[in-house]
Amino acid sequence: MNTSILALDLGTQTGWAIRLKDGQIISDCETFKPQRFEGGGMRYLRFRKWLTEIKQSSDGLDAVYFEEVRRHVGVDAAHAYGGFMATLTSWCEHHDIPYQGVPVGTIKKHATGKGNASKEDMVAAMRDRSYPVSDDNEADALALLHWAIETQEG
C-alpha cells in the first residue's frame, strides 16, 4: 500500500500535487489572492481550510513536502511565503502529519539535471513525464512530489 503524499509550491498561486494511497497522482494550482474587503489574514484561513479539504478528500495524508524558498523577488512575496509556510507547518503539527521543506535547487536538479533550471525547463520536464501542467507552480509541485517519491520512500 502506498502512502499519501502532498507536495506544495507555496504562494499566492500555490501549485500542488498529491499521490493518493492507490498510487494515483493529481495536480493543479489553487489561488489565495487577497479578496477585496478582506483582512490580511483571511487568505491564510482559506489556505488552512483548503488543506483540510485536501486531507479529507484524500483519506488522510502521510507526509507533506513544500518548496523551501530562500530568496524572494520582493518583500510582499517574502511576507506571503512566510505566512503560507507558518500556516502549513502549524496545520501539519496540529494534524500530526510529518512535513519537510526541500530547497529549490534540489528539486530543479532532480527534475532537470540543473540546479538553476528555468521555469520553462521545469514545465518541459513535467510535460516530458506526460503531465499536462498549466504553469510553473504546478510543475514545481509535481517535480517535488517525484523527488519525495524517488528519494524519501525506502
Note the pLDDT of residue 1: 55
Percentage of residues in the chain with pLDDT exceeding 70?
98
Note the pLDDT of residue 79: 87
- Residue 118 is part of a domain; what is its CATH number? 3.30.420.10
Please write the tens of the pLDDT for every residue from 130-141.
999 999 999 999
Please write the tens of the pLDDT for every residue from 53-99.
999 999 999 999 999 987 767 788 888 999 999 999 999 999 999 99
Q: How many domains does the chain have?
A: 1
Write 107-112 long-range contacts (CB < 8 A, 24+).
Answer: 107/67, 107/140, 107/143, 107/144, 107/147, 108/143, 110/143, 110/146, 110/147, 110/150, 110/151, 111/143, 111/146, 111/147
Q: Which domain holds residue 45?
A: 5-152
pTM of the full structure: 0.94
